[in-house]
Amino acid sequence: MQGVILDFDSVGPSDLDLSKLYDLPVKWQIYSHCSPEQVSERISDADIVLINKAPLLAPQIEQAKRLKLISIFATGTNIIDLKAARERNIIVSNAVSYGTGSVVQHVWSLILSLTTKLDEYRKAAMDGSWEDSHFFCVMDFSVRELQGKTLGIVGAGELGMGVAKIAEAFGMDVIFAALPGRKHSTQSNRIPFKELLTKADILSLHCPLTEQTTKLIGAEELALMKRSSILINTSRGALVDEVALKNALQQGEIAGAASDVLSVEPPVDGNVLLDTAIPNFVLTPHVAWIAKEARQRLIEQVAGNVEAFLEGNPRNQVL
């Protein structure tokens, strides 16, 4: 079997144990990174293709005549043309639940950073503000407790439930959004999406990016939120109308926001949110998932997907 890994460096393999992948009966051709223009040539003779963020669109899939399995180092499959894969009877598998601990702790680091004004007080401790204080402390920035506040979550999967579990430890009330036109699990604390927007003190997004959820949070939704509320997005950048978010923060329509994602990554052509003048905004460069333990589980799960395929029992199938 001929296998190709198109963008392996995006998984950060240098500090991981790769033996489960390399011990498979597959002859691997490994590329550190891959531009869209290079995909067709690189997968032309492959039976198996592993990707993280390198798109596999219909033209590339159609030209890869031997291709039998696509396995992605991620949960979301929006960069794969599933229709084209289905027409070729190509199996597509993904990875699930590998990054829960890593993502959940990053969500809470963003929430705590905003509610405790961590960065502002870190700077105040070092820039002379503390030395110049008439008192034993500095109280220039308002800090809020989480206890008794309401956390609204969009997406009640592995990540959403993981974030909810930590919220309970802080003494928060948790509510889940019922998006219009969608089937949902039956949590007793699930309420209509727009009602949730008006009730949540913190809103955290954990749903996939689809046609229906693109710009799920726009100007109208931000206007429904409390002026004291905070928005957290560690899912996909395009879930949020970035221009509307910037305007809402600048106009004080919400109290703060944090995002680990942008609509285009990396933001080679810039982005409206890459602006240090935006108040009460924290941006991290898509790092919520990158804990070493999470990446190790990811490697082992994708290796397991390939092994199961070779044994004739595909798993984690999207197609």
Distance of alpha carbon 43 from alpha carbon 45, whole angstroms: 6
Could you give the C-alpha distances from 287 to 94, 234, 284, in angstroms and in order? 19, 9, 7
Q: Which of 145, 220, 265, 293 is catalytic?
A: 265
Is 37 among the residues known to form the active site? no
236 carries an active-site annotation: yes
Annotated catalytic residue within 144, 286, 307, 315: 286
Tokens for 187, please give them. Answer: 């949590």
Neighbouring residues of 270: CB distance < 8 A, sequence distance ≥ 6: none
Q: Which of 206, 236, 295, 297 is the catalytic position?
A: 236
What span, in angstroms and rounded, lies between the C-alpha atoms of 184 and 178? 7
Is 265 annotated in the active site?
A: yes
**Count of other CB atoms within 10 angstroms of residue 214:** 14
Cβ–Cβ < 8 Å for 68, 45 = no
CB contact at 8 A, 102 and 293: yes
The H-assigned helical ranges of the chain are 19-22, 39-43, 58-63, 82-87, 100-116, 118-126, 158-169, 193-199, 219-224, 242-250, 292-310
C-alpha triplet 160, 101, 241: angle, nearest 5°: 45
Residues in contact with 132: Cβ distance below 8 Å, sequence separation at least 6, in sequence order: none
Strand bridging mode 48-51 / 2-5: parallel
Residues annotated as catalytic are 236, 265, 286
